[in-house]
Structure 1
Amino acid sequence: MTAEDIRPAADPDDISSNPSGNATLREVAEARLSRRSVIRGGTVVAAAGFIGAVAGTGTAMAAPGNPGNPGKPAKPGKGKKLLGFQAVPPGTDDKIVVPPGYTAQVLIPWGTPLSSRGPKWRKDASNSAADQAKQIGMHHDGMAFFPLGAGPLGSRQGLLVLNHEYVDQALLFPDGDAQMTKAKVDKALAAHGVSVVKIVQDKGRWKQVDSRYNRRITGTTPMTFSGPVGPRHPALKAENAPMGTLNNCSNGQTPWGTYLACEENWNSYFGTTDSSWKPTPQQARYGVSASSSYRWHEADPRFDVAVNPNELNRFGWVVEIDPFDPKSTPVKRTALGRIKHEGATVTESRGRIVVYTGDDQDGEYIYKFVGSAPWRLLRALRKSPLDHGTLYVAKFNDDGTGRWLPLKHGTGPLTKAGGWADQADVLLRTREAADAVGATKLDRPEWVAVHPRTKDVYLTLTNGSGWNNKVNPRKPNPYGHIVRWRERGGDNTALTFEWDIFLLAGDPAYDPQVKLSPEDVFGSPDGLGFDRDGRLWIQTDVSNSTQNRPDRGHDNIGNNQMLAADPATGEVRRFLVGPRGCEVTGFAMTPDQRTMFVNIQHPGEDTAFWGAAPTPQNPNAVSSWPDHDPAGRPRSATVVIRKKDGGVIGT
C-alpha cells in the first residue's frame, strides 16, 4: 500500500484555493533532505540537522510576562528524563484514557450554564438561542488559563477562556437542519465564539463558579476593528452593524493579559441561492462559493454573499478579548492579516512581540508579525502592540535557510503600479499578497509553539495533497509532519532562519520512512504547545473520514490522541486517547504545571469507520461521551488532567 492509496478523503475546508506557482515545502525539502538523513531511528524521530542537542528545560510556556505562566522554570535533575509517564496504547474505546497515576475529569461540557441560576442544559437539544447565549458553546478548541492571584493561589483559581470553533447542526437542533430557519441560525450563532469562565480547585477537583467575569462572546456580539483596516473602511460597510466572531480555532495569549481568538474557516458560513452570482478573484482565493454547508443564507441575508458581500470582509482576523473586563468590546486586529488563522502564538524578543500564525488550508503559508517597538512602550503610549508592526510570510530555501518576506505596501511587488492601493488592501488580500512575494506553500500549516528556552519554533503540518510535485518526505502526505526552525541569533524578530524537519508522523507498517515505534504511531499532528520544562505536547486531528480505517493506513493509530515529545532526544510517548469521533485540541496549564486542561471537540461526529452517522433520531450513533446517556447526545468538553500524587504533569 502506497501513500497515494492511504491519502485522506477530501475535507471541503482543506481543498486548496491557491492557484499560484509558488514552491511547496515538499519541493524545497527534497533538495534539502536528500543530502542527509531525517531519521535517527527507533523512537527518536527528531532530525539531526541544524539544531543539534536542544536543551530540555525552559523559562516559561509562552511569552515572558505572560500572566498564564509566571514564576521560575522547573529544572529536572541531572540525567532525569523529561518524559516520566507510562505511555498509553492506541485505542478505539468511547472514553478518555490517560496514563496510570493520572485522572481525567470532565469540565464545562457544551450547554453548561454560565450561572448557577441557569438556563439548564436540555439533553434533547431543545434549548433556545437565548438559552445557548448563556451557556458554554459547542465544539471547544483553543484555550488559555489566566490565574487569579499570585503564587500558589494562581494555580488554584483563574479564568479559563476557550474557543468554540463550529457547530454540528444535526446535534444542535432537536430536528436537525433539514429545514433551515432564522431561529436555528440564531442558536447556531450563539453556540459559536468564545467562553470566559471562572474555575477553582476544590479538594483536588476543579469546578466552574459564578463570577462577574463569566461571559459569552458569540456570532452576534458587537465588534470593532483596529489597525490599517479601520472600522470606517469602505470594505467593512455592510447591511448590518459589525458583529460576531466565527470559526475560532486556536488562540494566543498576550503578555499584557488578553486573549487572541483566531477566525479560521469563515468562508464556509456564506452562500447564496442567486444563480447569477460568481465569486470575485479575491473571494475565490479565500474559498468563497455559492454553496454553504451551514445554509444560513437561506434564512438570514447577513450570510448571503450576493445580498451582503462586504460581511465577508469582517471575518478572517485575529480577535483580541480582555477576559478581565466583561464590558469590553472585542477588537479585530487587522495588522495581523486576513487569512484562515489557525492560531496566533505570541512570544517576545528584544522587548518586542512576535506573533506566528498559520493559514490552515492545503497549500497555504506561515506568517509572522513583528512589533515596531517594545510592547511596554507602545502600551505606555496607549497604543496596541498588535496595531504597530510588520506582517511577514515565510520562504523556505532549499539549502536549509529561509527568509521572512514583508507584506508591506510599497515593498517589492506590493505597489500601486502592481495593483495594491495601500496597506489596508494588502491586509484584506493577505493571501494574494503572499502569493505575489513568492511565499512557500505548506501542507496545512496549523499550530505553532516556541521552545521556552531556545526560542526555536515548531509548526504542525497536518497533511497535504502533494501538489503533483516530487515529494520529500511524502507525496501525498496523509500523515503530516512537524517542521522547526531557529531564527537568526535566536532572535524571533530576525528576518532569516535555518529550518529542518523535526518529526514524520505516520505508521511504519504503511510507510517505512516513519521511524516511530509501533506503540507510538500517530497521524495528523495539529495542536501543539510547550510546557515550562520544555516538553512538546502534540495533539492530533485525523479526519473522521480516515480514523481507524485500515484502507487508509490508520487501523493501528486508533482514536485521536495527545502525545508528548522531548525535543532534546526526539522521544515520543502517547499521553491521552480521546473518545470516538473526536479531535483532541486546546492546551493550557496552571503555572505550577500540576493541572492540564485539554479540549475534546466533536465527539460522536460522523465517522466512516463506525458506520451509521448521527442523526436527530440517533445522536449517539458514534459516541455518547461524556454523559453516556441513551436519551442524550455527545458533547464537546474540557478535560482536567492531574496526577494522583499532585505532581507535575508529564513527569
Structure 2
Amino acid sequence: MTDDNHNIMFGNGDERPSNRSANPHIQDVIAVGRRQVIAGGAALGALAFLGGMPAIAAAAAPKGNAPAFQRRSRLPFGAVGVTRADAITVPDGYTVDVFIPWGTPICGSYPAYLEDASNSAEDQAQQTGMHHDGMHFFPMDARFKGRKSDHGLLALNHEYVDSALLHPNGPSVQDGKRTKAEEVRKEINAHGVSVVEIKRNARGDWAVLPSARNRRITGATPMRIEGPARGHELMHTRYSPSGTTTRGTLNNCSNGYTPWGTYLTCEENWAGYFASRDAELPRHLERYGVGTAGRYGWETVPGDEFQRFDATTIGEDARSDYRNEPNTFGWIVEIDPFDPDSTPVKRTALGRFAHEGLVFAPAKAGWPVVCYSGDDSQNEYIYKYISRDRYRPLRDDSRLLDEGTLYVARFNPDGTGDWLALDFEDASFQQACLTAGVQFRDQGEVLINTRLAADIVGATKMDRPEWGAVHPDTGEVYFTLTNNSARQEANAANPRSPNPYGHIVRWREDGRNNIGTTFRWDLYLLAGPESDSRDPRGRSLDQDNVLASPDGLWFDDEGRLWIQTDMSGSQLSAGPFGNNQMLVSDPKTGQTKRFLVGPTGAEITGITSTPDFRTVFVNVQHPGEGSTPTQYTSVWPDGPRRRPRSATVIIRRKDGGRVL
C-alpha cells in the first residue's frame, strides 16, 4: 500500500540501493576469470575456478569401487514436486505441525490472539511477533553438553509487519500522516524477537511452557551499546546523551548464535524506518539510503517514542534531537536467552550495515573466534570478523565481540580472494583513506560508516549477499547471492542480464581455523530454470531441484546444506518454480533435492533442529503477501476466511527417527 501524499510503504521494503562506488562487481570478477572456468565434466568442477577447492571436486563423485555405504544417497527421500498449493508440502514419511503463529500468547498475562486482529499494542508485546525469520533452538543444557533434545528455548526473529493484516482495517493514514498512535505502537511491538521455552512429550509433540524465561524483545526494548562506537559523538541522541543506550531492534532477518550460548539477532533493512528532511544528508545516513519518509510513517506521530524515527536536524546539537538515531541501528544484537532480565547488547565491532545474519566458523579453544556476515542490498559486500582475544570454552566470552578486526572481501578473477582490514590503525587502510580523500577520526567512526570504509579499500560488489553457512567439518563457507536486478552485463559463469535467479558462492580459507586473510573461492550452484542453471555437479537443474532466489542456508550436523528460497512477484506467480521452497544439497556428491514447498505468497526462512535431529523447525514468513484486510491471497495456516499468519512449522519423521 502506498500513500500518494507521503510515499508511506506498508511492506517489507528492501533497502534503497546506495552503493555508488567504482569498486568491481562480483560479475565483473567472474567475467574476467571465465576463461579459467571448467566448462563441464567433473562433479562440482563445472562451476569451479581452476585451482579452487580441488579436494572437494575430487571427493564429489564416489568411485565405482567404493564401499556400498559410500555410494548410498545421503538424501533418502523422494523429491517434492513444484506446486502452488496453499499448504506445506513435504515428502512421504514426514509430518508437519504448525507452531507458535503470529499472536500466540507467550508471556505476561498471556492475552489470546483475536481473529479480527483487534489485539492491543500491549497484547502484542506479550505475543509472538509478526513475520518469523531466523531462529535457533537452545537445549536447556546448552552451556554444558548441549545434548538435551526434548526441552529447550526457541529464539526467533520477527522481520517486519504487514500493517494491512496487523490491524482490523489496515493502518489509519490521513494527509500522509499516521493518525493512531496505538496502531504504530502495536507495529513496533510486533517487531523484534521472541524467546519461548518449549518441551516435547513422549509422543513427540511440542508445547510452549508458561515459563518465566519466555520473553518479547521489541522495537522499543532498551538496549546497551558496546564496542568501538559506544559513546561516540555520532551515537549521541536526546534519549541517550552519552551515546551508550538506545531503544529497540528492527527488521531482524537472519540470526546467529555464539559458542557461549547466546542468541544474535541481525538488523537488516533498518534504514527505511527513518526519515530526514535535511537538505544534505551526512554520509552515515546517505550511504545507507535514509529517505525523506519512513516505511511505515512512524515519524509522523507526535511523542518522543515516535519522533525518534525523524532524523531531521532540529536542535542545537545531537543531544537535543534524533539526527543520530539511525546510527544506533544496523548492528548485531546479542541476547542472553536464559536470562529474561538481561539487557540486549548492540555489538558495534561487527560493523553497521544491513546484516542478513552472522555465522561462526567452528570455535576452537585457544584460538580467536571468526564469524561472517552479508550486507543484503544490491552491490554490497561480505564481511568477516576475527576477535583479538582467544576463545575459552565454558565461560561467558561476549567480550570477544567487542575487540577484534572487521574485514571485507575482495574476490579476485583467478579464484583467490583477500580480506581487507577496516582498521583505523592499519597502515593499508590509512593509505586507502588518503588516496580516496576520506577522513575518519577513530575506529568508532569507521564502523558507523562501515559501507564507506569498504568502498574505500576496494571490496567486491555482490548480488545481495544473504545467509551464510559454515561446513561443520571442513570450515568451508557458503553464501547465497539472492539476485540483482541492477546488473547489466552477462558472462559465461552467470549468463543473465540482469541476474534475477541468484547463485551460491563458497570459499575455503587459507589460514588455519579460518583466521587467515586470503581464501580460494568458486561458485557452488547457479539458480534458475532448467534452461539456465547449473547444479553443484555442473548439470542443469531439473524437476527435483529447480529453484530461484536462494536465501536461507544451514548445515545440519552431517554436513548437508539446506537451501531456502525467497522468490517474489512473477517468479511466484508464473514460470517453473512454484511457491518458495527448501532443498537439501550434499556437497560430497552434489546431489540436490527439494524437501519442502510452502504456502501461497510465503517465504521459507529460518531453520534449526534439536541435537538428536528428530525435530526440525522451519519458519514460514508472510503467507498471503499482498493481502488486504478483506481479501486474503492465502488462508494458511488457519483455513478459509482466516487471516494468514506467519508461523513456525515442526517437521518430524512418522517413525520417530532422525529427519535425515
TM-score normalized with structure 2 length: 0.87
Q: Corresponding residue for 1:193?
A: 192
Q: Does 1:625 align with 2:645?
A: no
Q: C-alpha distance in 2, partners of 1:11/1:467?
A: 22
Q: How far apart in 1 are the matches of 2:151 and 2:22?
A: 51
Residue 325 to residue 442, structure 1, CA distance change in 2 (3 Å): same
SS in 2 for 1:197: strand
Q: Distance in 2 between matches of 1:43 and 1:100?
A: 29
Question: Residues of 2 paired with 1:45 and 1:105: CA distance?
Answer: 39
Q: Show the counterpart of 1:366.
A: 382
SS across alignment from 2:385: strand
Residues 108 and 126 of structure 2 are in contact (CA less than 8 Å); yes or no, is this contact kept in structure 1? no
Q: Choose 47-56 or 90-99, whichever is displaced more.
A: 47-56
The aligned residue for residue 222 of structure 1 is 222
Match of residue 148, structure 2, among 149, 154, 158: 154
Percent identity, aligned pairs only, is 50
Report the Cα offset of residue 518 of structure 1: 2.8
Q: Secondary structure at the match of 2:643?
A: coil
Q: For 1:172-200, what per-residue CA distance to the aligned partner results, in whole angstroms no more than 9, with x for missing partners? A: 11121142222111101100000000111
Kept after mapping to 1: 8 A contact 2:489/2:498 = no
* Pair 1:39–1:325, CA change in 2 (3 A): farther
Aligned to 1:295: 297
Contact 1:359 1:444 in 2 (8 A): yes
Q: Is the 8 A contact 2:533 2:540 kept in 1?
A: no
Q: Could you tell me the TM-score, scaled by structure 1's length? A: 0.88
Residue aligning to 2:104? 112
Q: 1:260 aligns with which of 260, 264, 267?
A: 264
SS at match of 1:286: coil
**Unpaired segments of 5 or more residues in structure 1?**
1-9, 58-75, 607-613
Within 1, Cα distance between the matches of 2:99 and 2:393?
39
1:81: which partner in 2? 73
Higher relative contact order (CA 8 A, sep 6+): 1
- CA 1:496–1:152: 2 relative to 1, 3 Å: closer
Alpha-carbon distance, 1:389 to partner: 0.9
| Residue of 423, 439, 447 corresponding to 2:467 | 447
> What residue ranges of structure 2 are gaps of 5+ in the alignment?
1-10, 60-67, 241-245, 315-321
SS state of the match for residue 30, structure 1? helix
Equivalent position amino acid for 2:292 in 1: A
Equivalent pair of 1:26/1:466 in contact (CA under 8 Å) = no
Question: Residue by residue, what CA displacement relative to the aligned partner does 1:621-647 show, whole Å, maximum 9, x if unpaired?
Answer: x101000141x3010000000111122
What amino acid maps onto 1:305 in structure 2? A
Aligned to 1:336: 350
Q: Structure 1 stretch 585-594 or stretch 175-184: which is displaced more?
A: 175-184
Cα 1:38–1:565 shift into 2, 3 Å = farther
Seen in structure 2, the aligned counterparts of structure 1 residues 646 and 151 have a Cα distance that, compared at 3 Å, is farther
> 2:308, 2:209 → 1: CA distance?
36
Question: Does the CA contact (< 8 Å) of 2:38 and 2:46 recur in 1?
Answer: no
Equivalences for 1:501-580 in 2 at 5 Å?
A: 501-509=523-531, 515-543=540-568, 545-550=569-574, 555-580=575-600
Q: What is the distance in 1 between the residues matched to 2:184 and 2:121?
A: 9
Change beyond 3 A, Cα 1:506–1:469:
closer
The 2-side partners of 1:84 and 1:239 are apart by: 58
Is the contact made by 1:507 and 1:518 (CA closer than 8 Å) also made in structure 2? no
Q: How many residues align?
A: 605
Determine if contact 1:541/1:584 at 8 Å carries over to the other structure: yes
User: For residues 378 and 399 of structure 1, do their structure 2 counterparts lie closer, same or farther at Cα, with a shift above 3 Å needed?
Assistant: farther
Matches of 1:153 and 1:359, distance apart in 2: 33
Cross-structure match for 1:593: 613
AA at the equivalent of 2:190:
A
- Once the two structures are superposed, residues 33-55 of structure 1 have per-residue CA deviations (whole angstroms, 9 ceiling, x without a partner) of 33223655999976485224549
Which residue is 2:132 aligned to? Answer: 140
1-structure distance, mates of 2:331, 2:557: 29
Q: Are 1:99 and 2:91 an aligned pair?
A: yes
CA distance in 1, matches of 2:286, 2:596: 39
CA distance in 2: counterparts of 1:87 and 1:531, whole angstroms: 18
Q: How does 1:229-628 map to 2 (within 5 A)?
A: 229-230=229-230, 232-241=231-240, 242-272=246-276, 274=277, 277-299=279-301, 300-306=306-312, 307=314, 308-347=322-361, 348-349=363-364, 351-376=367-392, 384-411=399-426, 412-414=428-430, 418-465=438-485, 467-471=487-491, 472-473=493-494, 474-489=496-511, 491-509=513-531, 515-543=540-568, 545-550=569-574, 555-606=575-626, 614-618=627-631, 620=632, 622-628=633-639
Residue in 1 that maps onto 2:14? 13
Counterpart Cα distance in 2 of 1:430 and 1:27: 23
Tell me the CA shift for residue 168 of structure 1: 0.6
Q: Which amino acid aligns with 1:103?
A: T
